Structure 1
């Protein structure tokens, strides 16, 4: 039965690649297109190795294939996970390939400079994405006709050859692999947003923030927490939870949706307002520093201050470069608040008691294993540790960016 299934797959793919050669003026089929592009030989080998990916294509009204060139595969790093991926983890590899296929025909020549678009892909597995309609890739045309695709953890791939038509859509050749967006804590770690992560552990909110589908999160940079000091570290767990619930929206809002004067209702029921002044964008009075960081269950925006649910009408002063905190009794501190709440996973002290550790095989966080060890029964939250300790951070379960790249690299070694 298994052999018959493989034969059926091969036959179906053969028909798909054959395309419309019988037509008087046939459009090039996908197989011929890939075979004729010498820079895509590695990618073409992957498609041949996992033909089941192409079985999904006829269900869409045209597709865009972002095909990494051979140089892109030369950039793939190896890690301690390389042996596992060399054992042919088909689930990881096929999901990475699905993330390189966009729904709909996207012509680079039609892009408007400076206007990012967020395009759904064929990556819809709940193991890797928790957004409606398929995980997205950001596409933007920059000055000088440079076209960039932004994927997980801010990874950037540049278009090097565009708009190669085939019978089912177009192929766009890119210079780096796309990385499927990872879970929230992996992403916070990658961008060194440690106090916000620690506050999530301190309030038992890691599971909720990481697993609720279709969310937008406004995460303050570490400097925003440092500027508050005891104004936030002296809060009870319940008070801190109110602050954290004011940073999350129950909908996905990418930067084009952050229009001037727009108001959104946060999880705690209070409004969050957007204000534009010149080239700056503010969320209440906090300036937007980095936008559109893709995560598995939505999008993350980094702001310079911590939002205060007790001050939803706070307004910025655009005439000054740095906005003042909106919490009473704010006092700057040198140590990063809440990082002590992040459970240790690297170079941890030896304990005489058994402590559960986060799983590294599932892409979904379990609330008990990750959160229970991170907090105590005290009504006051754990506060800070040194910046040096912040380097050894907990990671939520799931594959990180390097792991996904190694997954694809491992597959190449077996072609």
Structure 2
């Protein structure tokens, strides 16, 4: 049970107990007074008033940064779906989403170094939403022209539109879109069209390892799997498991800022991968890094252009050519996407079909398919994403809100 002093603090923060600051004195306001005076934050302020328990999660009354979506940010969300979540009075879901908008520590825009991303821990620590130590992260980067952006789940971007509104407990930064809490691995692979990578985890029975807390993974794009063809699709599930484990760095959150030239990272397979830089390009062994720092519920994912081979850990890139050759013997290009049939069906599934279940066992051939159902390959449907969240977490109301948030992503 929270102490009465905490409850008094919440009331004071929201302006229930007015501090009575004269605007002309320049005295820093309490949070309630500050939000009440910002006409572009009325929706956010009403949420804080409706769900004040979020403030009970603050470790102290100092040193927090609140990323406050402006009224226009809420206008980007399909109101019918959000209204249902609010009508259900799902305080737990909404509180967790609001907690993702509160950073640990006071972060002012003037401290940012242009071009250098920082990954800031938030107050989102619920295991239903986060499986990383110390609070789920938000990426913050200052771009050319002093444009400051916050990157959240599934690559959603929010732009800073009003900076450094100081209050007695920290600072408010006003953003133009809601932050999207990072989603589960399988939701993220679907959103970024990494379906062969996802299917390979099912086919090798390695998905649970990749969903462990605090992991870094390097996910080959679909073209990397089609470039190998039978060289990978004919592997046994044990052989495939070894290959996939070489793409996972356990117990490490290695964001792009940690992928320094010459650094080595021990993978779950037991061999090291080596990071190499050449000009503006970054390579993992000989595979080029295509997309970095995709936040997921249990860590961070980077997309690479080739499948890594644990039998050739010393593979080196040739920076003089645009595309690196596969590092597997007998690689043969195919048109179909390997392993996608191993992905369990979750939308519009045939009533009597069992083909979507990953049933490969040790010694069996890894699953591959030349055809994938449209429901499996759908990556832009926020409804499918919400349903998957409900299936994986058992959190149906969370899915309802995330459906709405997913809709907001599509509208950005």
Which of the five TM-score ranges fits, normalised by the shorter chain? 0.7 to 0.9
Residue correspondence of structure 1 range 362-381 to structure 2 within 5 A: 373-377=357-361, 379-381=364-366
User: For 2:161 and 2:235, how far apart are their aligned partners in 1?
Assistant: 52
Aligned to 1:234: 234
Deviates more, 1:375-384 or 1:213-222: 375-384
2:367 to 379, 382, 401: 382
Q: Which has the higher contact order (CA 8 A, sep 6+)?
A: 1
- CA separation of 1:187/1:258 partners in 2, compared to 1, >3 Å: closer, same or farther? same
Q: Which moved more, 1:264-273 or 1:399-408?
A: 399-408
Deviation of residue 343 (structure 1)?
1.1
What SS is found at the alignment partner of 1:343? coil
SS across alignment from 2:307: coil
Mapped partners of 2:173, 2:403: distance in 1: 19
What is the CA-CA distance between 1:207 and the residue it aligns to? 1.9
Aligned partners of 1:42, 1:30: CA distance in 2, in Å? Answer: 15
For residues 61 and 406 of structure 2, what CA distance do their matches in structure 1 show?
A: 25
Secondary structure in 2 matching 1:302: strand
Q: Is the contact between residue 96 and residue 408 of structure 1 (CA under 8 Å) also seen in structure 2? A: no
Aligned position for 2:404 = 406
- Could you say what secondary structure the match of 1:330 adopts? coil
Contact 2:54 2:98 in 1 (8 A): yes
Task: Choose 56-65 or 169-178, whichever is displaced more.
Answer: 56-65
Secondary structure of the corresponding residue to residue 331 of structure 2: coil
The verdict on how the C-alpha distance between 1:237 and 1:64 changes in structure 2, with shifts beyond 3 A counting, is same
Q: Residue 74 of structure 2 corresponds to which residue in structure 1?
A: 73
The equivalent of 1:218 in structure 2 is 218
TM-align CA RMSD = 2.8
**1:90 maps to which residue?**
91
Tell me, yes or no, if the aligned pair for 2:81 and 2:403 is still in contact at 8 Å.
no
The corresponding residue for 2:10 is 13
**1:58, CA displacement in angstroms?**
5.2
- Structure 2: distance between partners of 1:239 and 1:81: 46
Which residue number corresponds to residue 168 of structure 2? Answer: 167
- 1:379: how far off? 1.1
Report the equivalent of 2:297: 296
Name the residue aligned to 1:367: none
**Relative to 1, partners in 2 of residues 1:172 and 1:388: Cα closer, same or farther, differing over 3 Å?**
same
Cα distance, 1:349 vs. partner?
1.5
Instruction: Map 1:176-195; keep pairs closer than 5 Å.
Output: 176-195=177-196
Alignment of 1:99-110 (within 5 A): 99-110=100-111
On the 8 A contact 1:230/1:331 being kept in 2, the answer is yes
Q: What TM-score do the two structures reach when normalised by structure 1?
A: 0.87
Relative to structure 1, the CA distance from residue 266 to residue 277 in structure 2 (aligned partners, 3 Å threshold; closer, same or farther) is same
Q: Specify the alignment match of 1:363 in structure 2.
A: none
1:335-364 per-position Cα deviation (integer Å, ceiling 9, x unaligned):
000001011112212218xx79xxxxxxxx
C-alpha displacement at 1:78, in angstroms? 5.8
For 1:255, the equivalent position in structure 2 comes to 256
Whether the aligned pair in 1 keeps the contact of 2:190 and 2:378 (CA below 8 Å) is: no
**In structure 2, distance between residues paired with 1:408 and 1:233:** 33
> Can you list the C-alpha shifts for 1:79-121, whole angstroms capped at 9, x where unaligned?
8797455312111100000000000000001211000000000
Consecutive unaligned residues in structure 1, runs of 5 or more: 357-370, 410-415
The number of equivalent residue pairs is 388
Moved more, 302-311 or 72-81: 72-81
Aligned counterparts of 1:158 and 1:106: Cα–Cα separation in 2: 15
Distance 1:96 1:376, change over 3 A: same
Q: 1:25 to 1:41 in 2, by over 3 A?
A: closer
CA distance in 2, matches of 1:53, 1:276: 43
User: What is the TM-score when the length of structure 2 is the normalising length?
Assistant: 0.87
Give the equivalent residue in structure 1 for 2:307: 306
Pick closer, same or farther for the CA change 1:54–1:232 going to 2, 3 Å. same
Matching residue of 2:410? none
Which residue of the partner structure matches residue 246 of structure 1?
246
Q: Distance in 2 between matches of 1:226 and 1:60?
A: 54
Contact 1:220 1:306 in 2 (8 A): yes
Per-residue deviation, 1:126: 1.5
Shift of 1:57: 2.8
Contiguous gaps of at least 5 residues in structure 2: 408-412
Hey, what does 1:152 align to over in structure 2? 153
Name the residue aligned to 2:45. Answer: 44
Q: CA deviation at 1:385?
A: 3.3
Tell me, in whole angstroms, the C-alpha distance in 2 between the residues paired with 1:169 and 1:83: 32
User: Within 1, Cα distance between the matches of 2:224 and 2:60?
Assistant: 47
Q: In 2, are the aligned partners of 1:248 and 1:267 still within 8 Å (CA)? A: yes
Q: Distance in 2 between matches of 1:125 and 1:105?
A: 22
Do residues 267 (structure 1) and 276 (structure 2) align?
no
How far residue 46 of structure 1 moved from its aligned partner, in angstroms, is 0.2
Q: Distance in 1 between matches of 2:296 and 2:32?
A: 33
The 2-side partners of 1:9 and 1:48 are apart by 16
